[in-house]
Amino acid sequence: MTRHSLRLRLLVGAAVAVFVALAFAWLAMTLLFQRHLELRVEQELRRDALQLVAGLSIDPAGMITAQQPPTDPRLSIPAGGLYWQISANQQSQRSRSLWDQALPSSPQADATEWRTRQIDGPFGQRLFLLERIVQPVGSMERVLVQLALDENEQTVARNEFSQTLALFLLLLWAVLAGAAWIQVQLGLKPLQRLRRELSGLRHNASERLSADYPQEVEPLTKAINDLATAREADVKRARQRAADLAHGMKTPLAALAAQSRLIREGRSDPQAAADGLDRAISAAGAAVEAELARARAAASRHARQDAQASPLAVAQKLILVLERTEKGMRLDYVLDVPETMRLAISAEDLSEVLGPLLENAVRFARREVRVSGSTTDDTITLSVEDDGPGLSAAEIAQVMVRGVRLDQAGGGHGLGLAIARELVEATGGTIELGTSPLGGLRIELRWNRADRLASSTDNRPSSKVLQAVKARLQTAFARLV
Amino acid sequence: MRALVVEDDPDVGPDVVRALQAAGFIVDLAKNGEDAWFKGDVEDYDIAVLDLGLPRLDGLSVLKKWRANARTFPVLILSARGDWTEKVEGIEAGADDYLAKPFEMGELITRVRSLIRRTAGHSVSTLTVGTLQIDTRRMTANLDGVPLSLSQLEFRLLNYLAHHVDRAVPASELADHLYGANEAGDSNAIEQLVTRLRRKIGTKRIETKRGFGYVLTAGDE
């Protein structure tokens, strides 16, 4: 597992957290136990002390005696661990267990209450000492009463307790860590499945992730599925386009091969051969042009949505170009487009749309080419008209069939309409041919204002999916947290 | 006639040169932008055929440098991309015509000839009628020093009238000149055109001689 393993992170996190919690518990419980022991010992000593004090007497000579010393057997064994001592003036009486030793006298002892402290006692023992100064009835004598217990007992008990507790807590830690491991395993299992399915998806583009994932993972799988669908469509489209192009090139190539064979066999006169070659070259050129048009349209489909072109400005520039041509300079151009009109398409693309249309109009016009634009609440309409011969209804119908060239007469420029159509349709518009009041052809481009937004987002699968992925990841993250 | 061909392609360049030589031109070939810039600046050409994709200095920059240096010979642009944005950029940079690659050599020769005819027709490059100034090379006109916004057709009408200030020009003659001889004369269209031009340069400047035609005047009297 690498440093970035989610499982390792979760496991280590859980183990460390549990360990810290248990160590803290161990420390706290040990302290509590010790405190409890001390209380018990203090209570015991107090009981003995009370008994000792109750039997305290001072004879007229000033001798103090303990009438009823406590009877604990440890008191009778030298260094037995439990000791008492009463002292007043220079004399004192003590338990047998103290033998020839004495408990140190205490400057801090108080007459109002029992005090406890720890001292280094005789026999090298550490003692827990309870002491008080008492004044027996009918005497002026201050008597120091001391009882002591070897702390060793407590220490042993506490150590034993803390060791047992530590052992138990370690066991508990192991169990909890195991539980965490199982939890992580279970929690990450869907991700492992996801990985397997994803690698399957890589090998087979049409495969999709199954739908029965936990609800936290499901948004992710859905987003991945959407992305895969969009990708598959893209790839399919690209393949189709490559096939189209290859197909478009095949015919001219065959024609070229045929011409080459004819020339080799000497069956073709140079003029006819050159004509044939030119035809094949222009057909190949046409195929390439058409493909470029589609590529441009595809690029426009993915273009920035906030593109804003002014049809008036674009038309003015295009007319500037067309006016330079032999035919174009003989024509009158009428621009009837509102200055504020804007289209959600880049100026470059609009140039590619209007350029060929205007060029066609110029070619066929007699005197006038007219560009007009109008806006309603729902639609934006641009039209290019000329006063040339126009097309009959049958010709229009034929031209509108996909792939048919609008103009079979002009040399090599006829594909302009294909580019324009691809671009207009890529930006969610429609193109319509009709007869102009001027007498010639009228080409009308119409964009649905509301549609343009909607369709342009629909037409951008990748970015839409990315947005969805982002949104779903956020949801998933929110749920996990 | 001297022509400059600017083309870096080893096949297309010499091909164009041969075709122009066959058409009677004396041709220089420049194979990169810097060479083209230099030649265009120091030699007097009647036309330049300029490819846009060039090593060292691109065609548009070459054209802009020529024009900035007041080189006014007509320029025909050859463009491989052939998109309209490029055409517009070319014309705005000062080109006179464009031709998209691949082109037919015959078409190129036709364009070159018509460009020379169009721009070299007049010996004088500036005509003055009263406060009206017409630059026949750049195809622009100023009125009292202010540039006029004229369509090509309007300019050509003004230009023709300016060349014949000494007489009334009949509408049929204008139609012939403006629309070409093969088009039937349409005096109505000419009248509309004259009306539009009058609106731009002042009504009095074009007088109608009833039964004879139109005359361009200084417009003072």
Q: What is the pLDDT of residues A400-428, one digit of tens each?
A: 665 554 444 444 334 567 677 777 887 77
Asked if residue A190 belongs to a domain, the reply is no
Q: Is the pLDDT of residue A1 over 60?
A: no
Residue B96 and residue A333: Cβ atoms within 8 Å?
no
Rounded Cα distance, B29 and B31, in Å: 6
Rounded Cα distance, A361 and A384, in Å: 7
Q: What is the pLDDT of residues A120-139, one digit of tens each?
A: 888 888 888 888 888 877 77
Q: How does residue A67 score in pLDDT terms, banded at 50, 70 and 90? A: confident
Residue ranges making up the domain that contains A311 = 304-459
Assess contact for A375 and A426: CB atoms under 8 A: no
Interface test with A, best of B77, B79, B83, B84 (most A CBs within 10 A): B84
Chain B residue closest to A278 (CA)? B104
Using a CB–CB cutoff of 8 Å, tell me whether A348 touches chain B. yes
Q: How does residue B4 score in pLDDT terms, banded at 50, 70 and 90? A: very high
- The 3-state secondary structure of B93-126 reads HCCCEEEECCCCHHHHHHHHHHHHHHHCCCCCCE
Q: Is CATH 3.40.50.1000 the right assignment for the domain spanning B2-119?
A: no
Same domain, A275 and A319: no
Cα–Cα distances in Å, from A22 out to A26, A403, B131?
6, 78, 103
Q: How does residue A299 score in pLDDT terms, banded at 50, 70 and 90? A: confident
Residue A407: give its domain's CATH number.
3.30.565.10
Token pair in block for residue A172: 């508990």
Q: Is the pLDDT of residue A463 over 60?
A: no
DSSP A66-110: ESS----GGGTSTT-SEEEEEEETTEEEE-GGGTT--PPP-SS--
Residue B151 and residue A366: Cβ atoms within 8 Å?
no
The single residue listed with the structure tokens 């070659």 is: A277
Mean pLDDT of A254-283: 82
Mean pLDDT of A348-365: 86
Lowest mean pLDDT among A82-96, A149-163, A283-297, B72-86: A283-297
Contacts of A318 in chain B (CB under 8 A): 84, 88
Same domain, A414 and A314: yes
Same domain, A32 and A140: yes
Select from A302, A328, A360 the last residue of a domain: A302
**For residue A475, which of A220, A226, A221, A227 has the smallest C-alpha distance?**
A220
Chain B residue closest to A355 (CA)? B84
The one-character DSSP state at A325 is S
DSSP A341-408: --BSS-HHHHHHHHHHHHHHHHHH-SSEEEEEEEE-SSEEEEEEEESS----HHHHHHHHSTT--S-S
Residue B193 and residue A324: Cβ atoms within 8 Å?
no
Q: What is the pLDDT of residues A37-52, one digit of tens each?
A: 989 989 988 998 888 8
Could you give the residue ranges of the DSSP H alpha helices within A138-208? 152-203
Shortest distance between the Cα of B56 and any Cα of chain A, in A, equals 26
Assess contact for A273 and A263: CB atoms under 8 A: yes
Q: Is the pLDDT of residue A168 over 90?
A: yes
Mean pLDDT of A354-359: 87
Residue B88 and residue A317: Cβ atoms within 8 Å?
yes
**For residue A468, which of A212, A162, A225 has the smallest C-alpha distance?**
A225
pTM: 0.54
Q: Which one-letter amino acid corresponds to residue A235? A: V
Lowest mean pLDDT among A62-71, A295-304, B200-209: A295-304
User: What angle (nearest 5°) sits at the alpha carbon of residue A473, between those of residues A470 and A478?
Assistant: 125
Assess contact for A148 and A127: CB atoms under 8 A: yes
Domain ranges of chain B: 2-119, 126-216
Q: Which helix (H) or strand (E) holds A134?
A: strand A126-134
Among A272-276, A432-436, B99-103, B163-167, top mean pLDDT goes to: A432-436
**For residue B18, which of B9, B10, B27 has the smallest C-alpha distance?**
B27
Contacts of A355 in chain B (CB under 8 A): 83-84, 87
Q: Is the pLDDT of residue A173 over 90?
A: yes
Residue A321 and residue B153: Cβ atoms within 8 Å?
no
Using a CB–CB cutoff of 8 Å, tell me whether A352 touches chain B. yes
Residue A317 and residue B92: Cβ atoms within 8 Å?
yes
Chain B residue closest to A315 (CA)? B88
Shortest distance between the Cα of A318 and any Cα of chain B, in A, equals 6
Same domain, A308 and A287: no
Using a CB–CB cutoff of 8 Å, tell me whether B85 touches chain A. yes
**For residue A307, which of A460, A415, A443, A433 has the smallest C-alpha distance?**
A460
Bridge-based pairing of strands A332-336 and A143-150 is: unpaired
Residue B87 and residue A355: Cβ atoms within 8 Å?
yes
Same domain, A278 and A326: no
Cα–Cα distances in Å, from A252 out to A280, A283, A286, A292, B82?
5, 6, 10, 17, 22
Residue B88 and residue A332: Cβ atoms within 8 Å?
no
pLDDT at A452: 44
Rounded Cα distance, A142 and A64, in Å: 11
3-state secondary structure of B72: coil
Q: What's the count of helices (H) and strands (E) in chain B, helices before strands?
A: 8, 11
Q: ipTM value, please give it.
A: 0.71
* Domains: count for chain A: 3
Select from A157, A191, A217 the last residue of a domain: A157
Rg (CA), chain B: 20
Q: Which one-letter amino acid corresponds to residue B154? A: E
3-state secondary structure of B213: strand
pLDDT at A409: 40
Q: What is the pLDDT of residues A175-188, one digit of tens each?
A: 999 999 998 888 88
Shortest distance between the Cα of B221 and any Cα of chain A, in A, equals 31
Mean pLDDT of A251-278: 82
Cα–Cα distances in Å, from A128 out to A37, A80, A86, A150, B122?
11, 14, 16, 6, 129
Tell me the average pLDDT of chain A: 80
The residue among B43 and A457 whose pLDDT is bigger is B43
Of all residues in chain A, what percent carry a pLDDT higher than 90? 11
Cis peptide bond prior to B102, omega within 30° of 0: yes
Residue A351 and residue B85: Cβ atoms within 8 Å?
yes
Same domain, A222 and A330: no
Token pair in block for residue B129: 């009628």
pLDDT at A30: 93
**For residue B213, which of B195, B187, B179 has the smallest C-alpha distance?**
B187
Residue B152 and residue A411: Cβ atoms within 8 Å?
no
Residue B84 and residue A355: Cβ atoms within 8 Å?
yes
Q: How does residue B121 score in pLDDT terms, banded at 50, 70 and 90? A: low
Q: What is the pLDDT of residues A228-245, one digit of tens each?
A: 888 888 888 788 778 877
pLDDT at A472: 60
Tell me the average pLDDT of chain B: 83
Interface test with A, best of B81, B85, B91 (most A CBs within 10 A): B85
Give residues 159 to 178 of B whose Cβ lies within 8 Å of A: 178
Q: Looking at the domain B126-216, which fold is it? A: Arc Repressor Mutant, subunit A (1.10.10)
Lowest mean pLDDT among A102-111, A159-168, A298-307: A298-307
Using a CB–CB cutoff of 8 Å, tell me whether B215 touches chain A. no
pLDDT at A23: 94
Lowest mean pLDDT among A329-343, A449-463, B145-159: A449-463
Lowest mean pLDDT among A22-36, A272-286, A353-367, B176-190: B176-190
Select from A130, A157, A184 the last residue of a domain: A157
Shortest distance between the Cα of B1 and any Cα of chain A, in A, equals 21
Using a CB–CB cutoff of 8 Å, tell me whether A328 touches chain B. yes
pLDDT at B188: 78
pLDDT at A170: 94
**Smallest Cβ distance to B91: which of A281, A324, A331?**
A324
Shortest distance between the Cα of B173 and any Cα of chain A, in A, equals 14
Contacts of B118 in chain A (CB under 8 A): 329
Give the other-Cβ count within 10 Å of A177's Cβ.
17
Asked if residue A381 belongs to a domain, the reply is yes
Asked if residue A46 belongs to a domain, the reply is yes
The one-character DSSP state at B169 is B
Write the CB contacts of B199 (distance below 8 Å, at least 6 apart in sequence): none
Using a CB–CB cutoff of 8 Å, tell me whether B109 touches chain A. no
Interface test with A, best of B92, B150, B152, B177 (most A CBs within 10 A): B152
Q: How does residue A207 score in pLDDT terms, banded at 50, 70 and 90? A: confident
Rounded Cα distance, A177 and A159, in Å: 26
Using a CB–CB cutoff of 8 Å, tell me whether A285 touches chain B. yes
Q: What is the pLDDT of residues B49-106, one digit of tens each?
A: 999 888 888 888 999 999 888 888 889 998 877 778 888 888 888 888 888 877 888 8
Beta bridge partners of B75: B48
Q: Which one-letter amino acid corresponds to residue B62? A: V
Same domain, A311 and A284: no
Q: What is the pLDDT of residues A358-411, one digit of tens each?
A: 888 888 888 889 999 998 888 899 999 988 888 777 777 766 665 554 444 444
Q: What is the pLDDT of residues A441-451, one digit of tens each?
A: 888 999 887 54
Write the CB contacts of B139 (distance below 8 Å, at least 6 apart in sequence): B152, B155, B159
Asked if residue A257 belongs to a domain, the reply is yes
Shortest distance between the Cα of B179 and any Cα of chain A, in A, equals 5
The one-character DSSP state at A116 is E
Bridge-based pairing of strands A368-375 and A429-435 is: unpaired
Q: Is the pLDDT of residue A197 over 80?
A: yes
Chain B residue closest to A335 (CA)? B151
Shortest distance between the Cα of B8 and any Cα of chain A, in A, equals 21
Residue B88 and residue A351: Cβ atoms within 8 Å?
yes
Same domain, A273 and A380: no
**Smallest Cβ distance to B84: which of A318, A366, A411?**
A318
Contacts of A324 in chain B (CB under 8 A): 91, 95-98, 152
Using a CB–CB cutoff of 8 Å, tell me whether B156 touches chain A. yes
